Chains A and B, each alone.
Chain A
Amino acid sequence: SAVISQKPSRDICQRGTSLTIQCQVDSQVTMMFWYRQQPGQSLTLIATANQGSEATYESGFVIDKFPISRPNLTFSTLTVSNMSPEDSSIYLCSVVDAPGTDTQYFGPGTRLTVL
């Protein structure tokens, strides 16, 4: 399976600022996704990161708050904008690494705390 890394692994940020999270994969992958895991909760899909076009957002998530880029088949970024304490979560990227399959593999996550 693909090896996925995320930067930063954790951060503590002030209210009103923005943080960009990077997701790097060691091979070209067909699909990339971003998820949020709030404290003690399950994973919620934020968006599908589409290569070369705008991301596809799930209900409740908007581009102004969570802009996503995917410039190529191995890299994506998620920005958490104008942060509030409610944005404190673990943010995970995941990939589907083979066409015709739907098994997702997850990065280690970025633990974000907003003060």
Chain B
Amino acid sequence: GNSVTQMEGPVTLSEEAFLTINCTYTATGYPSLFWYVQYPGEGLQLLLKATKADDKGSNKGFEATYRKETTSFHLEKGSVQVSDSAVYFCALSEREARFGAGTRLTVKP
């Protein structure tokens, strides 16, 4: 069945550092791929998505590219801020969504 493997962390960075959170997937078909973010005490928000190979999703300075050859969808940001501190979930969906374990990011001033 479909599944997602995600770098679990936690990850602690200083402000303005470069962020990469790794995500790889296993799928029988051609799923859409997502990154969701959960800020402290809040619900789950869609951060970005990509629906086919080589698509790049981007939002709020975050980017991820759908790599079919490496079955990956790594999340990157060039310069993180304290306000980016949250838990990040990689997910895939062909109908219902399957989630990775989540990565807790803490950004220190």
Q: Tell whether A pairs with B.
A: yes
Interface residues of A (CB under 8 A from B): 1, 31, 33, 41-45, 48, 92, 94, 102-109
Chain B residues positioned under 8 Å from A102 (CB to CB): 31-32, 93-95, 97
Alpha-carbon separation in the docked complex, A53 to B32 (Å): 27
Distance, CA A102 to CA B91, complexed state (A): 11
A43→B32 contact, CB < 8 A: no
Can you give 26 A-B contacts (C-beta < 8 A)? A42-B101, A42-B102, A43-B89, A43-B97, A43-B99, A44-B99, A45-B98, A92-B43, A92-B44, A94-B97, A102-B32, A102-B94, A102-B95, A102-B97, A103-B32, A103-B34, A103-B46, A104-B34, A104-B93, A105-B46, A106-B36, A106-B43, A106-B44, A106-B45, A108-B42, A109-B44
Q: Tell yes or no: B49 within 8 A of A by CB.
A: yes
Bound form: Cα–Cα A105–B100 in Å: 17
B residues with a Cβ closer than 8 A to A are 31-32, 34, 36, 42-46, 49, 89, 93-102
Given A102-B32, A103-B32, A103-B34, check contact A45 B43 (CB 8 Å): no
Which residue from B49, B101, B102 sits with its C-beta under 8 Å from A103?
B49
Q: Cα distance A10–B42 when bound, in Å?
A: 13
State in angstroms the CA–CA spacing of A1 and B42 once bound together: 18
